Amino acid sequence: MISIDSLSFGYSDQKILSIPHMEVKESQHLLILGNSGSGKTTLLHILGGLLKPEEGKVVIGNTDLYNLSAQQRDKYRGQNIGLVFQKAHLISALSVGDNLLLAQYLSGTAQDKGRVYEVLEELNLAHKVNKRVKALSQGEQQRVTIARALLNRPRLILADEPTASLDDNNAHKVIELLKQQAEKYNASLLIATHDQRVKDQFELKLELTAA
Amino acid sequence: MNLITLSWNYIKAKPLNTLLNVLLMSLGVAIILVLILLSTQLEENLSKNKRGIDLVVGAKGSPLQLILANVYHIDFPTGNVKLDEAKALTRNRLVKSAIPLALGDNYGGFRIVGTNHDYVKLYDGKIASGELWKYNLDVVLGANVAEKLDLKVGDEFFGAHGLSVADLEHDERSYHVVGILEGSGSVLENLILTNIESVWEVHNHEEEHVHEEGGHEEKELGSAYETGFPEGDADDEITSMLIKYRSPMGAVQMPRMVNSNTNMQAASPAFETQRLFSLLGIGVDMLRSFAYIIIVIAGLSIFISLYNALKDRKYDLAIMRSLGASRGKLFVHVVLEGVIITTLGGLLGMILGHGLMEMLANSYEKSDDIGVTGLVFVNQEMYVLLISIGIGVIASLIPALNAYKTDISEVLAGE
């Protein structure tokens, strides 16, 4: 499903990341572990098409991500990759529902309010659809970002420290939710974290160490 | 959801900032619009009303006053000239035609002008009801006069001495309305036209009415109602005459000849209106630069608020990129925000400008005479709106460029 070959990335002469080969199959989940500074976020950004690697290939399905033009890559990401970040980055000028509609609009998929409602329903947020983002709690906001990541039925879900700013209860819920939804959409799930609470819930792990 | 609603939502999210920017913009636009409306209408009306008149000859005094009084009917006449002297001048070979005017009375604030049918032809005046005057004391009303004073064909009224409303009435001889002109936008709209003899008769009658108690109702045909000068004796006077030259040579010789060889004064409408505009021009130019400064400040204010907001917005922008937005889309998104604000300001400014102009026109009683209103649309307004949009683009260009260059990975990693 997703594979990388002879990947390397670094700033000036300092190499941060070097992975000869890695492959994650469809509906497989992978936990990327490592201390801060080990390059977890960098790897995730490279996999998400946000950051061009110095060398190497990233292939999702049949698509060589960095062979696409910048604009095609943006579009591909919008339609096939769901991203979840440590902080719940939502557009505060928009309501919850409009945040999701925006995701459909920007990725170039048809705007479908039914679909928005369906995803919010799954995450138990349907009653918040017209609420301002700021009126939501931290945990709720994080769930909205997950809803946004799932909206376009992605083939790949990338989550960067999704539990770092949540309490135990919410952290557990979010991980469960991500796993459950990834299974539902038959998507591969990659989570980068240094959170000990998450460690034991995944079989496949990749440990990154600072070079 | 599209880029316009997205930008609109950002604008709505900071209402006070938006209000300030829109108001600044609209204020500048409104001032410019009032100036444009005023100067185009003034210029249009002034040039329309001086068409076909090469020279005005009247009593000595201020040449500008002579033009304002006899061409535009907004100032008081400089005095009268002898009929014989005026007639003598028309025999000059440089004069193609001359229309005599006799001013001095008014009714309800509208001037009664003694003249002949040539004066109506000069402005292509058309009769709307009734017919043009022939007999003395018969009058034809301009469209505006008939409407404002609620007069129709067959009505009678007494003129008042002088050119403003509150003067004494000549209550011995009444004028008889025989026709009403179509509205044309020319000076005719606000005039009451009659024979020159009518004006003389009303005045002379006052002195002689002791001798003529009988009151003859018999109507007297004017001696020159269609064209030319009326017959009169050595004491009779007219206020001025409007001259058209036979050849361009007239412009060279006539004014000098009149001014140095006669007791009359000659003034050129083209020259005097140009002089008037150059006098007004200084004020207009200053106001206009003031308005442009306001608009530039509005642009600057929009730039600053967009630029400052960008610091808080870089996460938003990075998220939008991660959701599939291209760089170009974000660029357009930020530019749109500036353009929406300035367009709103421009539109509000247009409404304000027209409203202000109409208010000015209504509060100034002479505005009807010079034909100024806030309810017309001038082509230049389109340019003002285009300038507004342009200001929006310029003000948001740098913030938009920064949005375009946002390094998503760096912003998202640097939280």
Query: What was the pLDDT predicted at B365?
Result: 66
In contact, B66 and B58? CB cutoff 8 Å: yes
Give A158 or A202, the one with higher predicted confidence.
A158
Interchain CB contacts (distance < 8 Å): A and B: 81
> Regarding the domain delimited by A2-207, which CATH topology (the fold level of the hierarchy) does it fall under?
Rossmann fold (3.40.50)
Q: Where are the domains of chain B?
A: 3-46+281-413, 55-267
| Residue contact A102–B316, C-beta within 8 A | no
Q: How far is Cα A7 from Cα A156, in angstroms, rounded to an integer? A: 19
Q: List the single residue in A with minimal CA-CA distance to B414.
A: A41
Query: What was the pLDDT predicted at B311?
Result: 82
Q: What percentage of chain A reaches a pLDDT higher than 90?
A: 34
Q: Where are the domains of chain A?
A: 2-207
Token representation of residue B102: 């006799």
Token representation of residue B247: 């050849």
Residues of chain A found within 8 Å of residue B310, distances taken between Cβ atoms: none
Which pLDDT tens digit goes with each residue over B354-392? 999 998 888 876 666 666 788 888 888 899 999 999 999
Confidence check: pLDDT of B331 > 90: yes
Residue B392: partners with Cβ closer than 8 Å, 6 or more residues away: B299, B302, B335, B338, B339, B340, B341, B342, B343
> What is the residue-averaged pLDDT of chain A?
87
Length of chain B equals: 415
Report the candidate in B91, B94, B112, B116 with the shortest Cα–Cα distance to residue B103: B112
DSSP 8-state symbol, A1: -
| Residue contact B13–A102, C-beta within 8 A | no
Which pLDDT tens digit goes with each residue over A14-56? 667 788 888 888 888 899 988 777 788 888 999 998 888 888 8
Q: Within 10 A of B226 (CB to CB), how many other CB atoms are there?
A: 11
Q: How far is Cα B111 from Cα B119, in angstroms, rounded to an integer? A: 14
> What is the residue-averaged pLDDT of chain B?
87
Q: Cα A159 from chain centroid?
A: 4
Confidence check: pLDDT of A139 > 90: no
Alpha helices (H) along B51-187: 63-70, 83-90, 117-122, 143-149
Query: What was the pLDDT predicted at B212?
Result: 45
Q: In which residue are the tokens 């990075």 written? A: B318
Q: How far is Cα B394 from Cα B389, in angstroms, rounded to an integer? A: 9
Residues of chain B found within 8 Å of residue A89, distances taken between Cβ atoms: 315-316, 318-319, 412
Residue A10 one-letter amino acid: G
Query: What was the pLDDT predicted at B367?
Result: 62
Confidence check: pLDDT of A10 > 80: no
Give B208 or B92, the one with higher predicted confidence.
B92
Average pLDDT, stretch B280-301?
89
Q: How far is B389 from chain A (nearest CA, A)?
A: 24
Confidence check: pLDDT of A111 > 50: yes
Which pLDDT tens digit goes with each residue over B138-168? 999 999 899 989 999 999 988 888 776 655 6
Residue B180: partners with Cβ closer than 8 Å, 6 or more residues away: B127, B128, B129, B130, B140, B141, B143, B146, B151, B152, B153
C-alpha pair distances (Å), B46 with each of A99, B94, B277, B332, B365: 59, 25, 10, 46, 18
Which pLDDT tens digit goes with each residue over B43-85? 888 888 888 899 999 999 999 999 999 998 888 899 999 999 9
Alpha helices (H) along B105-248: 117-122, 143-149, 196-208
Which pLDDT tens digit goes with each residue over B193-236? 999 988 888 877 555 544 444 445 567 888 888 888 988 888 88
A106 closest CB neighbour out of B9, B318, B325 = B325
Q: List the single residue in A with minimal CA-CA distance to B413.
A: A41
Confidence check: pLDDT of B297 > 80: yes
